[in-house]
Amino acid sequence: MPDRNNTELLPSEQEDYINRLGDVLMYRYGTEHPKAFIHTYGCQQNVADSEKLKGMLEKAGCELTEDKESADIIIFNTCAVREHAEDRVFGNVGALKALKRSRPSLLIALCGCMMEQEHIAEKIYKSFPYVGLVFGTHVIHRFPELLYNAMTTGKRRIERGIDDGKIYEGIPVHRDGSFKGWLPVMYGCDNFCTYCIVPYVRGRERSRRPETVIEEARSMINAGYKEITLLGQNVNSYGKGLDSDVRFPQLLKSVADIEGDFWLSFMTSHPKDASKELIDVIAESPKISPHLHLPFQNGSDRILKLMNRHYDVEKYLDIVSYAKSRIKGLELTSDVIVGFPGETEEDFQGTLDLIEKVGFTSLFTFIYSPRVGTPAARLDDPYTHAVKAERMGRLLKLQEQISAKRTAAMVGKRMRVLIEEQAREGILNARTHGGVVAEVPGDASQIGGFAEAEITEARNFILRGKLL
């Protein structure tokens, strides 16, 4: 078993590759600043990885672009969590064929979670001969070398590497946003929920050192970030195996205690080890968002057991009621899976009951998708997709009513919002501290700043308001 929390700096040979890429890019593209495009599928873990790839590309001289058609390097960072996510990747890679034919110097690379599954990586490699480079999540830190080799040898390559339990620090990062940023605190997952592919494609849990996280947060705040989200598949097990006593509640508090005007949030926390201590920290720090994303997945104890989730409905409701009693203005969100193998109508009723009892702000809803290699994929399932889709319809209807009630109750309130983006001409999308979207009139110059708003109207999931 490799050492789990073994931190190393980006190896100097990778720095050398970055420096040597300048000449290679010039030779291949006739410019030291060719255009690179990255499309990211899946969750924030992938977004954070793409920000590292972009950081390395930028350091090598590339210019980042949002326009795939004019790009010299195209990278798809893929997600394996559901079949739908994978299908989109296959479709979108297929569509690159004509682009590669018209521009032979184009380098197409695929990386991310799908590439960690051998059968998928092989299939991609065989089906799409114009894909020049395939690499997995464990070799991100070797990207400069892989890119260099792909360009200098012209040979196609699948590079997967092993989960060696190491964390590489010092990789350059290009953050997508200038005022909202992701900050990974840990990688991997040890939970092995029976439906989920993540532990297989992301490897074992490992935590970044607290001082590294705090330092990075401080530099983000100094750079003007107004909202930082700490990231991990299960932040509640942060620190396991570190030679330090810092656990997630202390880490969260330390980041919140950094001087500056910013909001702090995190995701995701697993209900099996969401502690009162964590909730107390949220309740006691005005900078931490009064928001808990606490995926319950299912409202039937029988299914929760089959899912290997290690909590039951009663325990879930206990944490929720403690959080509601402590955190003012709490917004709860969650993930839910409909149609786990063998889920009966009675099991499903449990899910509806739980949704009613909690009163979530909003839900991320998924129909179960079998993943090759996971235990749940081997279970019998007598229920058809039509049955599951019908249940999903009922669930969405219920949640819509709950969301509408919750937003309606916010009308007339005054609150601080963070202005995020232009929704349309003259209208901006802002977000409350709890994460609810509010449309307010204004212009693009206000994006990235805090403002006081009064909520004047509510429509299902969205609020409308005016700035004060």
Among 21, 36, 196, 231, binds ligand SF4 (CB under 6 A): 196
Among 23, 192, 224, 459, binds ligand SF4 (CB under 6 A): 192
Work out how close the CB of 116 gets to ligand SF4 at its nearest, in angstroms, rounded to a whole number. Answer: 14
234 interacts with ligand SF4 by CB under 6 A: yes
The dihedral formed by the CA atoms of 257, 410, 336 and 395, expressed in degrees to the nearest 10: 180
Q: Which residues of 98-119 are buried (b: 16+ CB within 10 A; e: fewer)?
A: ebbeeeeebbbbbbbbbbbbee
Compare residues 135 and 200 and give the one whose CB is closer to ligand SF4.
Answer: 200
337 interacts with ligand F3S by CB under 6 A: no
Work out how close the CB of 34 gets to ligand SF4 at its nearest, in angstroms, rounded to a whole number. Answer: 36
Work out how close the CB of 199 gets to ligand SF4 at its nearest, in angstroms, rounded to a whole number. Answer: 5
Work out how close the CB of 204 gets to ligand SAH at its nearest, in angstroms, rounded to a whole number. Answer: 14
Among 52, 138, 180, 202, binds ligand F3S (CB under 6 A): 202
Q: Which of ligand F3S, ligand SAH, ligand SF4, none does residue 306 bind (CB under 5 to 8 Å by kind)? A: none
71 interacts with ligand F3S by CB under 6 A: no
Work out how close the CB of 220 gets to ligand SF4 at its nearest, in angstroms, rounded to a whole number. Answer: 25
Interaction with ligand F3S in 171-200: which residues (CB under 6 A)?
Answer: 197-198
Among 21, 53, 106, 193, binds ligand SF4 (CB under 6 A): 193
Task: Name the residues that contact ligand F3S, by CB under 6 A.
Answer: 42-43, 45-46, 79-81, 113, 197-198, 201-202
The residues of the shown chain that bind ligand SF4, judged by CB under 6 A, are 189, 191-193, 196, 198-199, 233-234, 270
